Amino acid sequence: MEWTIGGLKPSHIISVEGPDANGRITLKCAVSREDVDDDPWVEVDAWNEIASKQITNTKLVNGGNIIQVAGGELLDVSDGENSWTGALHYVTRVIDKFSGELLEYTLKVEVEL
């Protein structure tokens, strides 16, 4: 599947979980220096630019949920087949001695179902 979040695409997706019943999606991703012709941190910084400081995910009585954000914007989220409105949390990353060459990170997205 080809994921797009707020117009950005991860270089490599290792695994995907969700969306669960609450509209939460977790993408484990990786980026290498060759993918961006630069420092892999550039890709993570781009994700953090569109992330929201606060995300409220409220279940609705009649089913579904609504996403509200503070310090950010609602984003278009797509897996190539389905599309949702959602928001991105700040990126979680794994920092080790290889982070300058290969960087693993996690995208946590909340979407309206």
* Residues β-bridged to residue 88: 109
Question: pLDDT by residue (tens digit) across 26-76?
Answer: 999 999 888 877 788 889 999 999 999 999 999 999 989 999 999 999 999
Would you give the DSSP letter of residue 71? S
21 Cα distance to chain centroid: 17
Closest to 5 in 3D by CA, of 27, 31, 21: 27
Q: What percent of the chain has pLDDT over 70?
A: 96
**pTM beyond 0.85, yes or no:** yes
